[in-house]
Amino acid sequence: MAVQILDRENFVEVVSRPGITLVDCCADWCAPCKVFSPIFRQAAEKHARHVFGTLDVQAEQEIAEKLEIKHIPTLLLYRDGLLLLHEPASLDAGHLDGIVEQAESLDMDQVRAAIARERERTGED
């Protein structure tokens, strides 16, 4: 599957879908991003049942600020609309595959219950 370009028009819709969505937060001028980009594209082909997208943090500064992107590349992983990973790093293929496999194996009912317990503990809505 091709990597989708994410922007203010489609970002929320794409990451809110059921299933796993990975987002490569990057910029054209970033050398580490250029190294990570082909690894990310290969993972998108290997894990074609999941959604892979890129977010140009320079073009989409408002989204990048809301997501608190401080370093690029940064990998975001959403499952069923929940942000589960926010990792600033240029990962190798094996590490990226491992992240996808871990996300696939999660019991989302347990994840949602843990989030609810934490929100109750901290008084968050």
**Cis bond upstream, residue 73 (ω within 30):** yes
Evaluate whether 65 touches 24 at the Cβ level (below 8 Å). Answer: no
CA distances from 84 to 13, 22, 46, 59, 87 (A): 17, 10, 21, 24, 10
Whether 25 sits among the annotated catalytic residues: the reply is: no
Whether 33 sits among the annotated catalytic residues: the reply is: yes
Catalytic pick among 3, 6, 33, 63: 33
Catalytic pick among 20, 30, 57, 63: 30
CA–CA separation, 25 and 109 (whole Å): 28
Angle between helices 31-46 and 93-105 (to 10 degrees): 50
**What are φ and ψ of residue 85, in 5° steps?**
-145, 135
Give the residue numbers marked as catalytic: 30, 33
